[in-house]
Amino acid sequence: MPYPRLSIVVPLYNCLALTRAMVAGLRATLPEELDHEIILVDDGSTDGTREWLATLGAPFRVILNERNLGYGAANNRGAAAAQGEMLALLNNDLVFSPGWVEPMLEAHARLRSRAGVVGNVQLDARTGALDHAGIFINYKGKPEHDRTPRWRLRLANRGKPLRRVPAVTGACVLIQQDLWRELRGFDEGYVNGCEDVDFCLRAAAAGYRNVVALRSVVRHHVSTSPGRKGRDEANTYRLTLRWRNTLVTLGIRSWCRHHFETYLPEPRDFPNAPLARQVALYLLRLRRNPPPDAYPGMGAAIQVEIERWRELLS
């Protein structure tokens, strides 16, 4: 099948050397037959990025923000100008190899109308270690990158090209333009963090499937943009207040695993023996549903974090 027209949106904020390398790698690895445009959104760079952008021609389109608006707003502005059927949102610190985009497009085509956000496997550009194979919710209710070893991923997924996940990182994702508009893009109330997770949760709540295309692999210079981590606590607090009940459900398996591992060194210390047996059966997938007592346990763990945030951010 022919590829849909692709609009590639890349928000920029300084880091010119990484941007130039990323753009060169991007152009070298896109299929020749892929109709595309590349929209570069500069978010107030002061390191020569704007001067370099002025030298670019087609297929580039350049948007200059008057001031630093943040990751969500920069992506929203780029996507609003996009003319393609599909959006690819990319960070400016990615390193590409041939064959990275085709599995993502194929994953989206396979899911058809059910497709939500399509992510991929990402390796740390410095070490080569796995940094992302999707996002899961940990036992405290927080989003966390799945860094399961790649051999275990292949074994667990039995060679399948897709892995369904609650969310994926926005560093490299593929989204149908219509879905982006339906969900109104990123929530700009988040500041450089959790926009991607929130969008994925909204897509899932609307009935779409978020997946990782396991045959697509890129390298990522993780969190290189200035100020990237400065609002992590506030962003996660906002996400938790909005999605608390959903996070309880998504974090149940993590809570059960943590609960079991906490008492495993000395099983006699388990405060609730029947719960321990139920948790073990659930983790071994010999029990379909989690123990009922796990839900209040997960809820209590999230409440601890909420109280901590209230004190920290007051």
Task: Specify the CATH number for the domain of residue 178.
Answer: 3.90.550.10
Same domain? For 93 and 23 the reply is: yes
Same domain? For 214 and 302 the reply is: no
Final residue in a domain of this structure, among 179, 197, 228: 228
Q: Is residue 239 a part of any domain in this protein?
A: no
Same domain? For 37 and 184 the reply is: yes
Same domain? For 192 and 302 the reply is: no
Q: Is residue 238 a part of any domain in this protein?
A: no
Q: Is residue 294 a part of any domain in this protein?
A: yes
Same domain? For 262 and 171 the reply is: no
Same domain? For 208 and 276 the reply is: no
The DSSP secondary structure of 245-298, one letter per residue, reads HHHHHHTHHHHHHHHHHHHTTSGGG-S-HHHHHHHHHHHTTSSSSPPTTHHHHH
pLDDT tens-digit series, residues 84-127: 999 999 999 999 999 999 999 999 999 999 999 999 999 999 99
Q: Is residue 244 scored above 90 in pLDDT?
A: yes
Q: Is residue 144 a part of any domain in this protein?
A: yes
Count structural domains, the chain.
Answer: 2
Q: Is residue 220 a part of any domain in this protein?
A: yes
Same domain? For 154 and 80 the reply is: yes
Same domain? For 126 and 199 the reply is: yes
Same domain? For 223 and 290 the reply is: no
Domain extent, residue 89, equals: 6-228
pLDDT tens-digit series, residues 271-312: 777 888 899 999 999 999 999 999 999 999 999 999 999 999
Listed residue (32, 37, 39, 28) closest to 5, CA to CA:
37
Query: What mean pLDDT is predicted for residues 196-213?
Result: 98
The burial of 52, by beta-carbon neighbours within 10 Å (0-12 exposed, 13-18 middle, 19 or more buried), is given as middle
Same domain? For 207 and 257 the reply is: no
Same domain? For 137 and 25 the reply is: yes
Taking CA atoms, 275 is separated from 247, 256, 280, 282, in Å, by 21, 10, 9, 10
Separation of alpha carbons 129 and 123, rounded Å: 5
Q: How far apart are the first and last CA of the chain?
A: 54
Final residue in a domain of this structure, among 228, 262, 289: 228
Count Cβ atoms below 10 Å from residue 148 Cβ, excluding itself: 15
Which residues partner with 290 through β-bridges?
Answer: none
pLDDT tens-digit series, residues 259-281: 889 888 777 777 777 888 899 99
Q: Is residue 191 a part of any domain in this protein?
A: yes
Query: Do 139 and 301 touch, CB atoms closer than 8 A?
Result: yes
